[in-house]
């Protein structure tokens, strides 16, 4: 294959992504340091970053966003593995369950956010069920699960969406590695847990790491679901940054841009660390 034709094949995709994505990030960076002559910003300054890192709202949002992403990713992995293992064997009705399992991948976040709201909010269905059984007297007795401090509603939406996404990848990893290792372990006397811990898990984990990174990054940078189901204060980083960006006071724009740059840099560092870890691990095995 000639180098030139390879380049031609890649050119359109690279051009679009470099111009729109990397270009956009660069422009965001310039706006965050107040250097953008086109829109009348001429003086380079790091004030936006200084005020961002001393802003207690930002720090609160950062803690919330990071916590939400870690918890969601962890629970996604756990449930993806559990459900994939349950789906792997043959059983009656497998086709229907398999079909349902793929369902969440295609359903937009917004729809499920509304569903979670209608089920879990204080006037939602579970609250009514609790009332009917006499557990609560009024809706305010029902625990706050949506618009709450911990972001439970947000986590539920992401789990619903992401478990099948990671779970399908677990299934494809298990399929491609076959049953040989597992049967061997069993025949050597390993019990169910030992087989899982020492045979299946080491097969699964490397396969789902990339998807887990995608999940983490997605939750970390997302806007829609936390906007709908989260508390206004503290809001997740994207919501806080977008609110600042929309602010009528144009002076808060650089700080908004600084937050977006922070999100991008934070996730990039995370991915680089991950790549480094993968490289070390695979280097050891070679």
Partner 1 sequence: MTKLQKREPRILHRNPIRNIILLGIVVGVILPMIPQLVWSISHRWYFPEMVPTEFSMRAWEYVGNPSTKVTRAFFNSLIISSVVTIIGVVIGLPAGKALGMYKFKLKWLVELIILAPAIVPPLAATIGIQVIFIRMGVADTMTGVIIAHLIPTLPYMIVSLSGVFANYDPEFEEQARILGANKAKTFLFITLPAVFPGIVTGSMFTFLISWGQYILTILVGGGRVITLPILLFSFTGSGDNSIASALSIVFVLPAIIILFVTSKFLSGKSSGMGGFGSI
- Binding to partner 1, residues 131-190 (CB under 8 A): 131-132, 139, 160, 168-169, 171-173, 175, 178-179
Q: Which two tokens stand for residue 99?
A: 């079909």
**In terms of Cα–Cα distance, which of 170, 172, 163, 173 is closest to 104?**
163
Q: Nearest CA to 211 among 267, 165, 173, 171?
A: 165
Does 4 bind partner 1 (CB under 8 A)? Our answer is no
* Positions 211 through 250 that interact with partner 1 (CB under 8 A): 211, 213-214, 217-218, 220-224, 228, 238, 242, 245
Q: Distance between CA atoms of 37 and 73, rounded to whole angstroms?
A: 41
Contact 244, 256 (CB under 8 A): yes
Residue choice 42, 54, 56, 90 for contact with partner 1 (CB under 8 A):
90
Q: Could you say which of 37, 40, 108, 189 contacts partner 1 (CB under 8 A)? A: 108
Point out which residues pair with 36 in neighbouring strands: 41
> Could you tell me which stretch among 26-34, 43-51, 60-68, 193-201 binds partner 1 (CB under 8 A)?
26-34
The pair of three-digit structure tokens given for residue 233, joined into one six-digit string: 């204060």
Residue 235: left if φ>0, alpha if ψ -120 to 50, beta else—which one? beta
Binds partner 1 by CB under 8 A, chosen from 107, 273, 277, 281: 107
Q: Are 238 and 222 in contact (CB under 8 A)?
A: yes
Which of 47, 51, 112, 177 binds partner 1 (CB under 8 A)? It is 112
Instruction: Establish if 282 lies at the interface with partner 1 (CB under 8 A).
Output: no
Stretch that binds partner 1, among 30-38, 47-55, 64-72, 143-151 (CB under 8 A): 30-38
Q: Per CB under 8 A, does 129 bind partner 1?
A: yes
């Amino acid at each position: 294959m000639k180098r030139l034709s390879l380049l031609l094949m890649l050119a359109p995709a690279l051009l679009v992504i470099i111009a729109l994505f990397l270009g956009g990030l660069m422009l965001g960076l310039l706006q965050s340091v107040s250097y953008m002559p086109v829109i009348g910003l001429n003086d380079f300054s790091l004030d936006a970053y200084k005020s961002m890192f001393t802003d207690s709202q930002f720090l609160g949002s950062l803690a919330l966003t990071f916590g939400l992403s870690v918890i969601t990713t962890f629970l996604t992995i756990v449930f993806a593995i559990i459900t994939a293992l349950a789906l792997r064997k043959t059983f009656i009705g497998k086709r229907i369950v398999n079909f349902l399992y793929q369902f969440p991948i295609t359903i937009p976040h917004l729809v499920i956010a509304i569903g979670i709201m209608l089920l879990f909010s204080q006037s939602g269905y579970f609250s009514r069920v609790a009332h009917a059984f006499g557990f609560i007297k009024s809706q305010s007795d029902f625990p706050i699960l949506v618009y709450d401090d911990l972001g439970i509603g947000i986590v539920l939406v992401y789990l619903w969406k992401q478990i099948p996404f990671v779970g399908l990848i677990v299934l494809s990893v298990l399929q491609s590695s076959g049953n040989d290792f597992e049967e061997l372990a069993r025949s050597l006397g390993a019990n169910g847990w030992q087989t899982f811990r020492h045979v299946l898990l080491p097969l699964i984990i490397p396969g789902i790491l990339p998807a887990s990174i995608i999940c983490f990054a997605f939750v970390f940078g997302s806007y829609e679901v936390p906007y709908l189901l989260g508390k206004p204060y503290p809001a997740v980083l994207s919501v806080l940054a977008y609110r600042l960006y929309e602010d009528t006071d144009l002076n808060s724009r650089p700080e908004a841009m600084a937050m977006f740059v922070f999100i991008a840099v934070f996730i990039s560092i995370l991915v680089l660390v991950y790549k480094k870890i993968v490289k070390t691990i695979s280097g050891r095995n070679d």
